Structure 1
Amino acid sequence: MAKLSFRSVTKLFFIAVTLLIHVVLFATVNFYFPHYDVTHITGVEVKRVDKDGPITKANPADGPTRDVYYIYTQNPQNDKVMVYRNEDTRWGFPFYFKFNSADLQARAQSFAVDKKSVQVKYYGWRLVMFDEFRNMTSMKEVDQNATAAWPIASYVLYFLLLITLFLSIQFIRGWFDSEES
């Protein structure tokens, strides 16, 4: 079995760090950039929350509280349910400049009553274990058989990240291989 030299171990370390940085960047793009779903709205709710989540007997309020809107949906093709958070981003990060969560909640209630298909635009992930919800930024009525829009900005960034990953790995390999000669 061939022994690895310090140079080859260092080269593998830099490649691993580059891969890790790109995985984090891919996850960041996936989390913060918009995605789309076509679904039916089944209900809405408002919950009082603090820094620890919804206020309940098990989690009493222990600081500033705020109202968070929740929108319940069900996919008409596979009956899969999804809960979306409907919270303003205001001037903060991510920069969606969303100030209309109350209006969006009223529209969602109207769509739930009329049982219409809607396309929702959202960012974030639904992490059940951490009680984390996707944040809905907008919705619009669509046909019953409509398909969700494609997140073109995300695809462009994924492509650019793949190119930078390839170029970075080639640069690292070339840097270490040229020093060996």
Structure 2
Amino acid sequence: MVYVKWTFIALFWLIVLAFLHYTLPQHDIARITDTYEKRIDPGENRWFWAQAEVGNNPDTGSRDVFFIQTRQADGDVMVYRNEDTGWGWPPYFKFDTSNLQAEANDLRSDADNPRWVAIRHYGWRNEFISIFPNAVSVRPVAGPDVTIIPWISIAILVTLAAAFWAIWVRWTRFWNRRVDPVLDSAGDRARDAGDGVRGLFSRKSK
């Protein structure tokens, strides 16, 4: 039972960490090589696509999606989708998809004259199930070695850690004050009852 307990605990925290890693904003330094628009028909991977743009029919299955192609300083290629999040989840309240696509298109460059940008995004890239991180903002930076401190993610993680600690402390105090005494009392009564039963049988045996 101990192994089962710790397996469930590890699985719970793994899900929490994966959720935070997918949802919290991240930054990539890259140069934009191209932008394009493509018709998408979300299928089994629909959970990793945003809803239709704000103002459009959310029940539409097929829709056009903007994409931003980039190449990072180490040579790796990364492709981002560019979709509104609207009032949904995650709460980035992104409504400027078309404006962001225009900015990205204006910042395109080649290997001979690179223009480096910081791309803030959330989500994952997986070629096997065709999912892409969603670009939230794009801004020029001085070069590929720029360090960006993720203040928003740090603030959110600190807040979540503080909330978890507060809940844990209060739960521990409640358990120690209310639950443990009841369990100890029940255990004492069970031991007394057991002693009485054993004493009854010992007298009968005599």
Per the TM superposition, whether the score is higher than 0.5 is yes
TM-score (structure 1 length as normaliser) = 0.72
Structure 1 position 126 matched with structure 2 position 132: no
Q: Which of the pair is proportionally richer in strand? A: 1
Kindly report structure 1 stretches of 4+ aligned residues shifted beyond 6 Å.
none
Distance in 1 (alpha carbons) for counterparts of 2:146 and 2:137:
16
Which has the higher mean CA deviation after the structures are superposed, 89-98 or 14-23?
A: 14-23
Listed as ranges, the matches of 1:84-95 within 5 Å are 84-95=80-91
Percent identity, aligned pairs only, is 31
For structure 2, list consecutive stretches of 5 or more residues without a partner in the other structure. Answer: 46-59, 173-183, 185-206
Structure-1 separation of matches of 2:154 and 2:17: 10
**SS of structure 2 residue aligned to 1:19:** helix
Q: Does residue 107 of structure 2 align to residue 107 of structure 1?
A: no
Q: Deviations over 1:46-76 (max 9, x none)?
A: 00112238xxxxxxxxx63211000000113
State whether residues 44 and 72 of structure 1, in contact with CA within 8 Å, keep that contact through their aligned partners in structure 2: yes
Structure 2 letter corresponding to 1:82 = M
| Equivalent in the alignment of 2:19 | 28
- Give distance in 1, aligned partners of 2:130 and 2:35: 17
- 1:140 paired residue number: 139
Cα deviation, 1:4-43, whole Å, max 9, x if unaligned, reads: xxxxx2x332222111111100000000000001110000
Larger CA deviation: 97-106 vs 110-119: 110-119
Number of residue pairs aligned between Structure 1 and Structure 2? 153
Q: Over aligned residues, Cα RMSD in angstroms?
A: 3.0
CA distance in 1 between partners of 2:63 and 2:127 (Å): 21
Matched residue, 1:174: none
Instruction: Select which of 45, 67, 70 maps to 2:67.
Output: 70
Asked if residue 160 in structure 1 is aligned to residue 157 in structure 2, the reply is no
